Structure 1
Amino acid sequence: MSSVVKLSCQCGNVQGALKVVKGSSFHVKCLCCDCQSYASKLNNEDLILDEQGGTELFQTYPAYLTITQGHEHIGCMQLSEQGIFRWHTTCCNMPLGNTMRSPNMPFVGISVKWMQFSDEQEKERILGPVTMKAFGKYARGPMPHDAYARFPLSYMPKIIGFMLKGMIGKKQSPSPFFKDGKPIVPAKIG
């Protein structure tokens, strides 16, 4: 069973659709210092981060993501030369998704803030509950009681299985962020 979620940035310039396929995703919250730094660099912390400094992400396959308009408003940032690609809008500085640097990796962590839902109940019905909160040691204020201090190693078998399933099913392509094996825009470092 699958659902389609409409995507729209804050100003409406960048829009798209996400196919949500049961068993092909993870709904997570990341409290790491890199995600917090990224929100700061976009000058959009109030929109992106929750009160504890967490970023809500929906991790799935690039093949399930389509950008229907606003390609000219897409930018890419890396926090370091070896860092992941962090895709965002250049119009309203909204995060879109995170990918590995290689177009061959079947992974995209999509910002839930980009998704359009009528209410929290619809969001949870379609995405499911947050199943993991990682890097709680970086939380603003006390670490949430239901968060892991770091990334939990117990989650690795799920991630490996997800990546293998994606590679076998060639779910890395098409990707709205890569064309002909290259990023659609050069990544800015810093």
Structure 2
Amino acid sequence: MTIALRCRCGQVQGRIDPAGIHARATCYCRDCRAYARYLARPGLLDAAGGTDVVAMAPGALHIDAGVDQLACMSLGPRGLLRWYAGCCRTPLASMSRNARMYYASVPVACLDAPAQALDATLGPPGRIVFAPDSATAPVRATRLRLPGVVARIGLHALVARLRGRCVGAPFFDPDGRPSRAPEVPSMQQRAQLERDPDAAR
């Protein structure tokens, strides 16, 4: 059984294999908020400025249609590669610039399934929280669960690296280079993205 992935307008479609999922988490870091504001799409952040994401192995993410619509940005020249659908600015995945770092963060916003079905497969949102101190409203930290989740993600990434696994198409070419040159906002643009507290809600 797979979970359908679909951008807002339907041009990009794919699926994720639940067997490759490490955890579901809510990230409250400032970079994720700035990215949501960059996309300028409502509904990407919760009431405290968090993004609901799935931490997973990138090999379990498949794009079946709309590869030509893939776009990429990065908040800085060395920042994460943040992939989205250029057609409607739906976020799809965030990854390291290093194709050998075998990890992807996939926003739940691009998963095409009822909330109840997602909760049954992924677990409910809010059980695992990253960067709670950066939230725009009080959130409950998950200090007991977080170390275990981080260790599990790190172990999977390490094993994949030792086995020579790399992130491949459509995100990277055979030489390990991003398949799209990421757009990097200027310092002034990034400051604006970090300054606007209400965008993308």
For 1:30, the equivalent position in structure 2 comes to: 27
**Corresponding letter in the other structure for 1:112:** V
For 2:3, the equivalent position in structure 1 comes to: 5
1:120 and 2:115 equivalent? yes
Specify the SS of the correspondent of 2:83. Answer: strand
In 2, Cα distance between the equivalents of 1:21 and 1:165?
16
Structure 2: gaps (5+ residues)? 186-201
Q: 1:133 to 1:52 in 2, by over 3 A?
A: same
**Corresponding letter in the other structure for 2:166:** Q
Q: 1:129 to 1:170 in 2, by over 3 A?
A: farther
Sequence identity of aligned pairs in percent? 27
Specify the SS of the correspondent of 1:47. Answer: coil
Specify the SS of the correspondent of 1:103. Answer: coil
Specify the SS of the correspondent of 2:17. Answer: strand
Aligned with 1:144 (options 117, 139, 143): 139
Mapped contact 1:61–1:166 kept (Cα < 8 A): no
1:88 and 2:84 equivalent? yes
Q: 1:170 to 1:89 in 2, by over 3 A?
A: same
Q: 1:80 to 1:109 in 2, by over 3 A?
A: same
Provide the aligned C-alpha RMSD in A: 1.9
In 1, Cα distance between the equivalents of 2:58 and 2:148?
24
Alignment of 1:49-64 (within 5 A): 49-64=45-60
Specify the SS of the correspondent of 2:170. Answer: coil
In 2, Cα distance between the equivalents of 1:138 and 1:173?
30
In 1, Cα distance between the equivalents of 2:109 and 2:165?
23
Deviation at 1:125, TM superposition (A): 1.4
After the TM superposition, list the runs of 4 or more consecutive aligned residues in structure 1 that deviate by more than 6 angstroms: none
Specify the SS of the correspondent of 2:18. Answer: strand
TM-score scaled by length of structure 2:
0.82
Mapped contact 1:61–1:172 kept (Cα < 8 A): no
1:40 and 2:37 equivalent? yes
**Corresponding letter in the other structure for 2:182:** A
For 2:104, the equivalent position in structure 1 comes to: 108
Mapped contact 2:72–2:180 kept (Cα < 8 A): yes
**Corresponding letter in the other structure for 2:152:** K
Deviation at 1:162, TM superposition (A): 2.2
More strand, by proportion: 1
Mapped contact 1:133–1:147 kept (Cα < 8 A): yes
For 2:151, the equivalent position in structure 1 comes to: 157
For 1:167, the equivalent position in structure 2 comes to: 161
Deviation at 1:170, TM superposition (A): 4.9
In 2, Cα distance between the equivalents of 1:173 and 1:145?
33
Mapped contact 1:132–1:147 kept (Cα < 8 A): yes
